Amino acid sequence: MGGERIDTRLLEELTEQSQDLNSDAVRITAEALGDFTEVTREQSSRRWWQRGGVVAGAAGSAAVLTSLRAVAATSSDDVKALQTAASIENLAISVYQTAAGLPFIKDGNKTVAAFIAKTTTQHQAHAQAFNAAAAQAGGKAQSGPDPKYAAVVKKALPSIKTPADVVALAITLEDVAAQTYTKNVGQVSSTELRKLFASVAPVEAQHRATLLAVQALLAGNLGDLIAIPTNAAKLPAAAGSVGFPDAFYPTKSASPITEGAVK
């Protein structure tokens, strides 16, 4: 075993599969947003037609009014969920952009810096998708950060001195995003929005898994192994499992849909 070389091709293959997973998620997100746009346009057209007096009789009008109110209430919750999601993304973007400018990140491990740059781009795309859906549903785009976690970030920033500090904060934000969107799948009212949240949640979970692995390597003074491809022979035994502590993704820390809604 001492002289045996470990084949790193599998690690490279897994890295490629990870990139493919994100590409698929981006495609599904775009499809879901397009489908949601089409559905909301059809609903708007149908509501206008109904309001035009085509439904005959007082009973029919009352039924339509009740139906429209129910749709509006559901739409209101959907908009809040989308705005809260956008607020979480906005905060993540801000944190990653701030981190990218820190000397020990900018001039430090190239893989960590590249991960931050790529992840920032992905969060920007997610924020745009959530805000586009909110606007399509008749709501306002959310340009601000999630207020609860903005306070957490504000408190943490002065104490950030090392890459490990950045990683710990990023893990918190990625985890709340993944938990929130996972829970949102069962909270929103349409198939299209469920598909939208379901396409973004695993990307955030993937970010968290990567960061947990990076965190473990930093804690073990193995920062030189944070590279693609890495020296698999030197990885600790826990490297293959530390990024996936949960068999099923939890939702107990998910943000409520009103948390980041536009007031």
Of 35-44, 212-221, 226-235, which gets the smallest average pLDDT?
A: 35-44
> pLDDT tens-digit profile of 71-127?
444 478 999 999 999 999 999 999 999 999 999 999 999 999 999 999 999 999 999
Is 254 inside a domain boundary? no
Residues 6+ apart with CB under 8 A from 45: none
Residue 207 belongs to a domain: yes
Closest CA to 61 of 70, 53, 72, 69: 53
Q: Which residues constitute the domain of residue 201?
A: 27-240
In a domain? residue 258: no
Report the pLDDT averaged over residues 49-54. 43
How confident is the model over 59-80, as a mean pLDDT?
57
pLDDT given at position 40: 57
Average model confidence (pLDDT) across the chain: 81
Answer yes or no: is 260 within a domain: no
127: tokens are: 């924020």
In a domain, residue 125? The reply is yes
Inside any domain, residue 6: no
Q: Which two tokens stand for residue 222?
A: 């193995």
Mean pLDDT within 55-66:
46
**Higher-pLDDT residue of 42, 236:** 236
138: region left, alpha or beta (phi > 0 left; psi from -120 to 50 alpha): left
Its pTM stands at 0.77
CATH number of the domain enclosing 113:
1.20.1260.10
Say if 8 falls within a structural domain: no
What is residue 55's predicted lDDT score, i.e. its pLDDT?
44
Task: Give a yes or no: residue 11 inside a domain.
Answer: no
Tokens of 111: 């893989």
Write down the pLDDT at residue 18: 58
Local confidence band at 242 (pLDDT 50, 70, 90 cut-offs): confident
Per the structure, the count of domains in the chain is 1
